[in-house]
Amino acid sequence: MQGIIISDIERQEMEYLIKRELDELLYDFQDERIEGIIKRAMEERYKILFRLFSKVANPTTCKSYLRSRKY
């Protein structure tokens, strides 16, 4: 088992940074010019970031970053 102890300010900073990354990924998923292999790598990155985000953010905020469909 692993854990991390962070202050509330650090948690908010982490939440903000992850939100920006998730926003960028969700925007890029809509781009038709990006090839399938790149989108698969983006999907892996999205999964990792979303799992981390769900640990630091409240459930209501997490719902807005759920993917509605796959590419």
> Which residue in 29, 31, 41 sits closest to 70, CA to CA?
29
Distance of CA 65 to the CA centre of its chain: 7
* Per-residue pLDDT reduced to its tens digit, 27-62: 999 999 999 999 999 999 999 999 999 999 999 999
- List all residues 6 or more positions away from 68 whose beta carbon is below 8 Å from its beta carbon: none
Q: What gap in Å lies between CA 23 and CA 37, rounded to an integer?
A: 20
> Which residue in 51, 46, 57, 54 sits closest to 22, CA to CA?
46
* Per-residue pLDDT reduced to its tens digit, 13-31: 999 999 999 999 999 999 9
Q: What gap in Å lies between CA 22 and CA 1, rounded to an integer?
A: 26
